[in-house]
A and B are shown apart, each in its own frame.
Chain A
C-alpha cells in the first residue's frame, strides 16, 4: 500500500493489576484487525513473548504509545514504569489502578507488615510454622534468587512517572479505548497532556436513565440486595450508595443498566480533587435526621465506608493512605 503511514508502536504493560485491563484490549474482537493494521505491538507481557531486555534495548521514545495498566505496588512495577516512560512518546494511565491506584490501592488502609502477617501467617489456609516470608534476595546453593521489593505504599502511575493521558475505568470500556486509539492513529488533535480521555466531563447521573429528584433523603442505608429495586428510581433515593454523582460518565452506565449502583471506577471530574471526600459530603447532606444519636445510627449502617467511597481512588486522593503512629 502506497503512502502508508508507518505503523504505530504500541506497548501494553500491567503493573499491580488483575488482568482485566488487558482483557478489555482483547475485547475489541474483530476490531483487533483494525488495531493490528494500524499498530505494531512491541511489548505486551500477557499476550506476547517479549522480554524486559527487549525494551531496554530500544532507543528512547521508540514506542509511540504505552498503555500502562495496574498500580505501582513493587519495585518491578516502578522499574518498568520508568523504563517505559523513557522509551515512550505518550504514556497512558490505562484503567482505574494506573489512574488512581484502584482496588490494590485499598491496601493503603493498612501496612505491608499487616498484609504480610495476614497473608503468610494468619489466613485460615496457611500452614507456615517457620513464618517464612518473601524477601527480595535469597541465597540458594545455585546462587542468589531475587524478587521485586514489595512496597509499603501503593501508588498511582502519575505518582511515579509523568503521565500524558488517563483512560479511566475498571476496566475502560473497550469502545472508548478504540475511540481514543483510533484518534491517535488517525492523527486527530490530541487534548492537552494531563487530560482524562475516553470519559465524559459530566458525571454519571447525566447519562443515567433512572428517575432522580431533589428528594434524596436517607433514613436507612441499604446494601443493593436489601431493596426491592423497581429498576427506575435513583439508587440514592432508595438508600443505596451510588458513586454516580461523583464519578465521570462515559462507561455507558453499564452497572446501572445491570441494576447495580455505580462504584466509582471512572474517577472524579476535573473539578473534584477527591471523589471520596466529595461523595461523603454529599451523602452527609442526604441523611434525613437532625438528631445526633440518630445520625450516628444511620451513618453506622454504611458498610465499609472507606472502601465504599475510596474504592478506586485512595492512593490518588488527597490523603493517599491511612496514617499510622510511628513505632
Chain B
C-alpha cells in the first residue's frame, strides 16, 4: 500500500514536470496546427543551457532554469522563422516532417559540442524528507514548485494579457482573429518562444531529477505528446490533465512492467484515447 502511495506521489511530481513541455507543445499546436517534433531537441538544448549556467557559471538551479527557458525559446523562434515557417506554406504535414529533420539536426548540434556522455547538474546534496512512510527529496519539491510557477504564469498570461487573449483568438478562429486585426505572425512568434521555452524548462526539470545527454528530450517525446493528445491536442488545461494521468500511469506501470517500458505507456495511452475518445479528455478548446 505504501509502495503504491509512493508511486502515485512520484507520478504526481513527474506529471507536473511533464505538464510544462506538454503545455508548450499543445499551445504551439493550437496556434500553428501542426505537431512540432523539434520540441524534443529544444528541450535538450534548454537542459544543456541550464547545465552550462549551473556548472560553468555557478548559478543555482532555479536561476539556471531561466537561462534554459530563454535559450530554448530563442532557438524555437529562430528555427521556426528560418526553417519551419516557409515550409508550412507547402503544407502542414511537410512541416511536421521537416520538424523531425530539425530535431535531429539540433540534437546533433548538442552532441557536437558536448559529446554523448551523461552529465549531472551541480546540486547541493540533501537528505530525503520522510512523512507517513513516504520519501520525497528537497530537489523534487523545488522542481515541483518551479513547474507550478511556470504553469501559473502561463494561465495568468492567457487569461489576463492582451497577447494571451489574442493567442486564444487565433487558436479558436484564425480567420476571425485576422479580421479583428490580430497579427498572426506576431502571435506565432510569441507562442513559439513561450512554448519552446517551456519545453526547455521541462528538459531541465527532467535532467535535474537524473542526468542529461543529447537524447534527454527525445526519450521524453512520447510522454510529452501522449500528455498533449490525452488531454486533447491544442488544449492547455487538457495538457495538464493529460500530463498528470501519464505521469501517474508511468509510475504505476512499474508495478507490472520493467522500467524501460515506461515510455511505451504513453504510446498505449495515445492508442487508447484515439480509439475511444479522439478529441481527448478535455476536447480541443484552447483554453
Chains A and B form a bound pair: no
Chain A interface residues toward B at CB < 8 A: none
